[in-house]
Amino acid sequence: MGGDAIECFSDVKTSTEPITQKTYQVVVAATPDMGIGKDGKLPWRLPGDLKFFKEITATTSDPNKKNAVMMGRRTWDSIPPQFRPLPGRLNVVLTRSASSDVAAAENVISCGSMSSALKLLAEPPYSLSVEKVFLIGGGQILREALNAVECDAIHITEIKTSVECDTFIPPIDMSVYQPWYSSSPVEENGIQYCFATYVRLRTSTSGPVNSGHELSCNGSTSRSKRFKHSDFTYLPKFVFEKHEEFQYLRLVQDIISNGNSKEDRTGTGTLSKFGCQMRFNLRKSFPLLTTKRVFWRGVVEELLWFISGSTNAKILQEKGIHIWDGNASREFLDSIGLTDREEGDLGPIYGFQWRHFGARYTNMHADYTGQGFDQLLDVIDKIKNKPDDRRIILSAWNPSDLKLMALPPCHMFAQFYVANGELSCQMYQRSADMGLGVPFNIASYALLTCMIAHVCGLIPGEFVHVIGDAHVYKTHISPLQEQLKKLPRPFPILKISPEKKDIDSFVAADFEVRNYEPHQKLEMKMAV
């Protein structure tokens, strides 16, 4: 290919023969109203964006291959002559004019249409030497191609600052695309922006925007047959590995490979590491892990149970939620000296401390209205009225009550942080069962953050999960090793009923995760 300029002007749409085409991924920077240019140029100068563009388009997994960058003639002309063709990549210029400067350039081919270019790239010699195809502009081509079925992914630099543009592209069709990852916002030269990748889930849209896989809190799933991919390794490797679920998978692998062997109160035995952290971006998607199915209905019902202040495990049991059964059983309560405690009464655990901190606990049937300190309402009040307060704290750890609890709090302390119209949460977990508990805990505190943001009129920001003793029970090693073989899929989208503005008014039906398509459930026995 080197040194050869090739022109192709046939439009493959006129052919009656079966056509094999390469698919492509779009790389673009755009404002909130999808402005991409002004006077034929980029209306911003962002070194970080240029670095990201080069890394996306020039990096290959196979060192013997290169990527192709496909662009319209105007985009080609807008590149300063000293920088074109873009080095280390096959430059594909879409033009119907046999221009001498394009035809004579090294590592350049010109084609009369995008479909003819994709067909050419799917045939030898290019099929043997080109790894991925990236469409980089301009406006007219992107208007036709951004949401086309041949587009597998969109890598977008989302410009958050208002910038005047005269060239626009359509919005990303969120009925067929799903966020893969999104960076935290950064700022350069007075412009705030972030990087995001959206992957195609479906080949087409039929029905409402929320068609696809929807998981409501009653456990029902609406399924669609239009999912295009279940394996997203076609993404650039460094983008693929930015999926936040890899934090969890790498931590599990590290604990299994390098953890300290320790005994524990259950007698099961663990492999353990101390002092770990994971961060989850809540701005576009919801961190419900995908390498195994997470019990979403259980996450929602338990959190609502906490918020209600209840300590009665039977309320969850009646809803088919049995995650507290082991710690609420007669046998377990007797084993820890709570022989006078009614079966199902867990004592002053999470919800009681959240809503009645400092109140004297008697039993699960008592009315504690007005007793103790309501930390949850205090958190919400401070977020609304004192958002810069550094004491927006929710604590379940009450040393004087620990002896009355069936299980002292594992996720024990949360701090909330408000900035730029966003609410973030950092939670400290003293003890974390990586196999069973942590996927649940991530979802629970992410949901709590989203709920509080919702009632406070804020956007969810980040959930930061800090763990003290992160452990894998030795009985969980085998199923976790199976889970580690799975590859992440896109996190789902959380939808909360817009009518609800009171933290105590929510019911399970107010929450829905859309497009949750995990791997199958993995059985792990709880250590009690």
Of residues 104 and 403, which shows the higher confidence score? 403
- Categorize the per-residue pLDDT at 114 as very low, low, confident or very high, splitting at 50, 70 and 90: very high
Of residues 239 and 522, which shows the higher confidence score? 239
193-223 confidence digits (pLDDT tens):
999 999 999 876 554 444 335 566 654 444 4
Q: Which long-range contacts (CB under 8 A, 24 or more apart) does 40-45 make?
A: 40/74, 40/77, 40/78, 41/78, 43/163, 43/164, 43/165, 44/159, 44/163, 44/189, 44/191, 45/189
328-362 confidence digits (pLDDT tens):
999 999 999 999 999 999 999 999 999 999 999 99
65-to-69, 90, 128, 212 alpha-carbon distances in Å? 13, 10, 8, 36
Structure confidence at residue 36 (pLDDT): 97
Q: Is the pLDDT of residue 19 over 60?
A: no
Residue 467: count of CB within 10 angstroms of its CB: 24
Three-state secondary structure readout of 336-390? CCCCCCCCCECCCCHHHHHHHECCCCCCCCCCCCCCCECHHHHHHHHHHHCCCCC
Q: Burial level of 29, CB count in 10 A (0-12/13-18/19+)?
A: buried
Q: Taking the alpha carbons of 450, 456, 460, 464 in that order, is the dihedral positive or negative?
A: negative
Contact (CB, 8 A) for 196 and 30? no
Q: Look up residue 313 and give its two tokens.
A: 């495990």
**Which amino acid is residue 69, in one-letter code?**
V
Percent of the chain residues topping a pLDDT of 90 = 85
Residue 13, H or E segment = none
266-276 confidence digits (pLDDT tens):
888 999 999 99
DSSP states of 171-213 as a string? PP-TTTEEEEEEPPPEEETTEEEEEEEEEE-BS---S-TT-S-
Q: Taking the alpha carbons of 348, 453, 440, 464 in that order, is the dihedral positive or negative?
A: negative
Q: Is the pLDDT of residue 7 over 90?
A: no
Q: Look up residue 382 and give its two tokens.
A: 């401070």
483-514 confidence digits (pLDDT tens):
999 999 999 999 999 999 999 999 999 999 99
CA 95: distance to chain centroid? Answer: 38
Q: Is the pLDDT of residue 28 over 80?
A: yes
CA atoms of 201 and 71, how far apart (whole Å)? 25
CA atoms of 79 and 67, how far apart (whole Å)? 18
Looking only at the bridges linking them, the beta strands covering 108-111 and 191-200 are unpaired
CA atoms of 516 and 489, how far apart (whole Å)? 9
Instruction: Tell me whether the omega of the peptide bond preceding residue 85 falls within 30 degrees of 0, making it cis.
Output: yes
CA atoms of 393 and 216, how far apart (whole Å)? 30
65-99 confidence digits (pLDDT tens):
999 999 999 999 999 999 999 999 999 999 987 66
Contact (CB, 8 A) for 255 and 433? no
Please tell me whether the overall predicted TM-score, pTM, comes out greater than 0.95 for this model: no
Residue 224: count of CB within 10 angstroms of its CB: 15
Structure confidence at residue 2 (pLDDT): 38
**In this structure, which topology does domain 6-209 adopt according to CATH?**
Dihydrofolate Reductase, subunit A (3.40.430)
Q: Is the pLDDT of residue 229 over 90?
A: no
Average pLDDT over residues 153-173: 97
32-66 confidence digits (pLDDT tens):
999 999 998 999 999 999 999 999 999 999 999 99
Q: Left if phi > 0, otherwise alpha if psi is -120 to 50, otherwise beta: which for 275? A: left
Mean pLDDT (the chain) is: 91
CA atoms of 249 and 256, how far apart (whole Å)? 11
- Categorize the per-residue pLDDT at 230 as very low, low, confident or very high, splitting at 50, 70 and 90: confident
Structure confidence at residue 205 (pLDDT): 56
Catalytic positions, please?
Answer: 410
The sheet with strand 393-395 has its strands ordered as 260-262, 270-281, 459-473, 422-433, 411-419, 393-395
Looking only at the bridges linking them, the beta strands covering 270-281 and 459-473 are antiparallel
- Categorize the per-residue pLDDT at 226 as very low, low, confident or very high, splitting at 50, 70 and 90: very low
CA atoms of 77 and 41, how far apart (whole Å)? 10
CA 377: distance to chain centroid? Answer: 28
Contact (CB, 8 A) for 85 and 71? no
**In this structure, which topology does domain 247-514 adopt according to CATH?**
Thymidylate Synthase; Chain A (3.30.572)
Structure confidence at residue 208 (pLDDT): 40
CB neighbour burial string for 357-376, b if at least 16 within 10 angstroms, e if fewer: bebebeebeeebeebbebbb
Structure confidence at residue 20 (pLDDT): 78
CA atoms of 399 and 401, how far apart (whole Å)? 5
Contact (CB, 8 A) for 108 and 5? yes
**Which amino acid is residue 472, in one-letter code?**
V
- Categorize the per-residue pLDDT at 23 as very low, low, confident or very high, splitting at 50, 70 and 90: very high
Contact (CB, 8 A) for 483 and 229? no
Average pLDDT over residues 264-287: 95
471-481 confidence digits (pLDDT tens):
999 999 999 99
Q: Left if phi > 0, otherwise alpha if psi is -120 to 50, otherwise beta: which for 499? A: alpha
Q: Enumerate the domain spans of the chain.
A: 6-209, 247-514
Looking only at the bridges linking them, the beta strands covering 221-222 and 186-188 are unpaired
CA atoms of 57 and 239, how far apart (whole Å)? 11
CA atoms of 256 and 270, how far apart (whole Å)? 9
Residue 473's DSSP bridge partners are 270
210-to-57, 213, 220, 476 alpha-carbon distances in Å? 32, 8, 15, 36
Q: Is the pLDDT of residue 11 over 90?
A: no
